[in-house]
Structure 1
Amino acid sequence: MATSGRWWPIASNPRRSVPPSACPTGWTDPVHSLPLFHRLTDQPVMVVGEGEAAEAKRRLLERAGAVVVGEDDPRARIAFIAMADPGDCLARLKARGLLVNVVDRPELCDFTTPSVLERGPVLVAVATGGASAGLAKALRLRLEALLPQSLGLLAQGLADARQRLREKWSDGGERRRALDAALADGGMLDPLDEGSAARLDQWLVHGEAEPFWHHDMMLRSDDPDDLSLREARWLGQADLIVHDPAVPPAILARARADAARSVLEAGQGAIAHSGNVLVIRRR
């Protein structure tokens, strides 16, 4: 999800296997694509081909603010090919160093384009790595029903209030805990509540940061789907995760990407940390 206008999501596809030694987090099965949001306003993007598929790509790019150009434009760094036989064109563009998307040929793509839901500056991109555009669309339509139109107003309001947030909560961890509490289910700024944007000023005056916590969690299973809602919330809010060496990567993958991590050592005593600490043990 992104919260800045005129960005467009593109999922890069490495199309190669990664050895375990190249995965410092311990994952041996890396994600198939890395979602990136590209600022395309006034940027040249190439579309090669004719017909409905090519026109759909042109409309998509123009909506994102890009300048659609042809194959003879040397400035483009990203290209879309909508042709029945893309082989020669693909070879030419790859030789020029362009990142290329070939419509309906995910095995030839350097990147894929997801199904996109837009709420003002909020973009939600749903991708399947080219496996099924229909599935991505179905998921997007489900999300359309969940996310209120006012979500964009809430996002813009939070962006405009960034300086006020820093003044009220100068410590980054404290500020994050205050936002986490406000944006939680039933919170004052619950993003699924139509009225949240209208309560932003009130929250900036009266809102308080949650005190930091320290929780111990004993895994009942190596399957992340067996985590309780509370445990999943702890993983998403922890600033530091101290875990048993045997905790599987699939569990740790549910944590905040920027949370600090360390391995729990035998006989380790109290953990001093000015933030939310989650200790994960394995039976």
Structure 2
Amino acid sequence: MSLHSLPLFMRLAGRPVILLGEGESADAKRRLLERAGAFVCGEDTAAPLAIVAIDDEDVALAAVARLKARGILVNAVDRPDHCDFTLPAIVDRDPVLVAIGTGGVSAGLAAALRQRLEALLPASLSSLADAMHAARTAMRDRFPDGGERRRAIGAAFAPGGPLDPLDDHPNADVMTALTGGGPARLERIVLTSPDPDDLTLRHARLLANADRVFHADGVPPAILDRARADAARIAGPPHDAPGLSVWLEMA
């Protein structure tokens, strides 16, 4: 099956982009372009890209035709059949960018998917990416063979792995994670409800990936059942604490 579009990430900092139109849609596109560092300009400027956010159909299509005749790639807002490129919904965890596109057929669907992904991807993902970048030389020294290096990184990023990107890693120790060193850590969950449906996404991920689960008296089985089937469940927490608490030992 062929791709209807090729996703690309284009650096626009300091580069001109034509924007035509007024109103809410044009303002939103202007904010997006300015956030990317683009120089927003009018139709008479030489530019590689243009966005036409004009409500009037005839005026918009005439502008699209003029721009395309100059060899400029055009995005025609709400007119996917006239678009050379589309603008995706974006999840920003700088330097990580996740773009969701629908080929212009449903901005609402792209926005809904973005909202779901926003909840799944921790804010510390940016710190993890920076830590991986900083460790590049050390990784090559420790794993000079490219295949071995890829396998070590893949294992660390796997679900439940020490660098699982869906978990929080505000101060990731990349080399310790890749070489399997370091002691197990304890993560504490303080439950606000005995209902497993009230678990946060982060708490559900921790439960699903824990090797051993220590739990206070009164923690309901429905909560403990969210842990892995092979995870040890140990009554009696390692530390005294009030309320419904669970301690998760993570490798």
Residues 123, 148 of structure 1: CA spacing in aligned structure 2 closer, same or farther, 3 A cutoff? same
Superposition deviation, residue 199 in structure 1: 3.2
Structure 1, residues 262-283: CA drift from partner, whole Å, max 9, x if none? xxxxxxxxxxxxxxxxxxxxxx
Question: In the alignment, does 2:50 pair up with 1:46?
Answer: no
Deviation of the 1:198 alpha carbon: 2.5
Q: Does 1:77 align with 2:77?
A: no
Identify unmatched segments of 5+ residues in structure 2. Answer: 182-251
**1:219 corresponding residue in structure 2:** none
Normalising by structure 2, we get a TM-score of 0.68
Deviations 1:211-263 (A, max 9, x none): xxxxxxxxxxxxxxxxxxxxxxxxxxxxxxxxxxxxxxxxxxxxxxxxxxxxx
Instruction: State the superposition RMSD in angstroms.
Output: 1.4
User: Which deviates the most, 140-149 or 190-199?
Assistant: 190-199
Please say if residues 48 and 81 of structure 1, whose CA atoms lie closer than 8 Å, have aligned partners that are also in contact. yes
Aligned residues of 1:43 and 1:67 also touching (Cα < 8 A): yes
Letter of the 1:63 counterpart: R
Q: Secondary structure at the match of 2:166?
A: coil
| Alpha-carbon distance in 2 for matches of 1:195, 1:118 | 17
Is the 2:90–2:99 contact (alpha carbons within 8 Å) kept by the matching residues of 1? Answer: yes
Instruction: Work out whether residues 121 and 152 of structure 1, in 8 Å CA contact, stay in contact via their aligned partners in 2.
Output: yes
CA distance in 1, matches of 2:10, 2:77: 19
Instruction: Tell me the distance in 1 between the aligned counterparts of 2:147 and 2:67.
Output: 46
Q: Does residue 137 of the first structure (1) align with residue 133 of the second (2)? A: no
Counterpart code for 2:177:
W
TM-score scaled by length of structure 1: 0.61
Give the C-alpha shift of residue 205 in structure 1: 5.5
Q: Which has the higher contact order (CA 8 A, sep 6+)?
A: 1
Max Rg structure: 2
Q: Which stretches of structure 1, 4 residues or more, deviate above 4 A after TM superposition?
A: 204-207
1:55 corresponds in structure 2 to: 27
1:31 is aligned to 2:18: no
Greater strand share, 1 or 2? 1
Deviation, 1:197, is 4.3
Contact 1:46 1:78 in 2 (8 A): yes
Q: Distance in 1 between matches of 2:14 and 2:33?
A: 10
Q: 1:130-279 alignment to 2 at 5 Å?
A: 130-195=104-169, 197-203=171-177, 206=180
* Counterpart selection for 1:67 from 35, 39, 49: 39
How far off its partner does 1:206 sit? 4.4
Are 1:182 and 1:188, in contact at CA under 8 Å, matched by a contact in 2? yes
- Structure 1: give runs of 5+ residues left out of the alignment: 1-28, 208-283
Contact 2:127–2:170 (8 Å) recurs in 1: no
